[in-house]
Amino acid sequence: MSKLLVRNYSISLDGFGAGPSQDLENPLGIDGQLLHQWIFATRNGRQMIGADGGEEGLDNTFFSSRGTGVGATIMGRHMFGPVRGPWDQSDWTGWWGDDPPFHHPVFVLTHHPRPPLEMQGGTTFHFVTDGFQAALDRAQAVAAALAKAGIPRDKILIEAAPVGEDSGQSRAEVLLEH
């Protein structure tokens, strides 16, 4: 049986997982980057954005292994991008460019149907409209196939950022919104 893995999820001390008013100029919401400053202080986090330097401690070790042993990812629509409402003719393909860092199936929770979106590197975004449990079931089915190959999934890393957001998107909204 595959296990659920939560990895590299940052929350503020007052429980917010993103800043308010997410848009193209503020992909993590206003001041949302403060929640993730631990990532961009690491060597691997800096390399991800094309910068040099960075720390090589415990956070770098966790961040650099973020994709190891992961068979599927579940994310909310806001993590996928700033588009709201029906997808209509949107050509939005995510924040990550043509080759997203996942390299496995990603299940995006949304109220609005959209065909699967295949990207370079093995990432396919599947848009799930029937709730978190349906996304979890689909992700676990994919992960179970990999688990048969002996890839364990039983770690959790939640980073509490030493900031207060006062507003934004709470961890409960992140988990329940779709």
DSSP reduced 3-state for 76: strand
What whole-number distance in Å separates Cα of residue 154 and Cα of residue 6? 9
Task: Say if residue 65's pLDDT is above 80.
Answer: no
Confidence of residue 39 (pLDDT cuts 50, 70, 90): confident
Does position 176 have pLDDT exceeding 50, yes or no? Answer: no
- CA–CA distance, 124 with 89 (Å, rounded to integer): 19
pTM: 0.75
In this prediction, residue 170 carries a pLDDT of: 52
Q: Would you place residue 14 in the very low, low, confident or very high pLDDT band (cuts 50, 70, 90)?
A: confident
**The pLDDT of residue 150:** 67
- Tell me the per-residue pLDDT of 99-110, one tens digit each, with 9 for 90 and over: 888 888 889 999
Domains in the chain, please, with CATH? 9-69+156-168 (no CATH), 70-151 (3.40.430.10)
- Confidence tier at 178 by pLDDT (50, 70, 90): very low
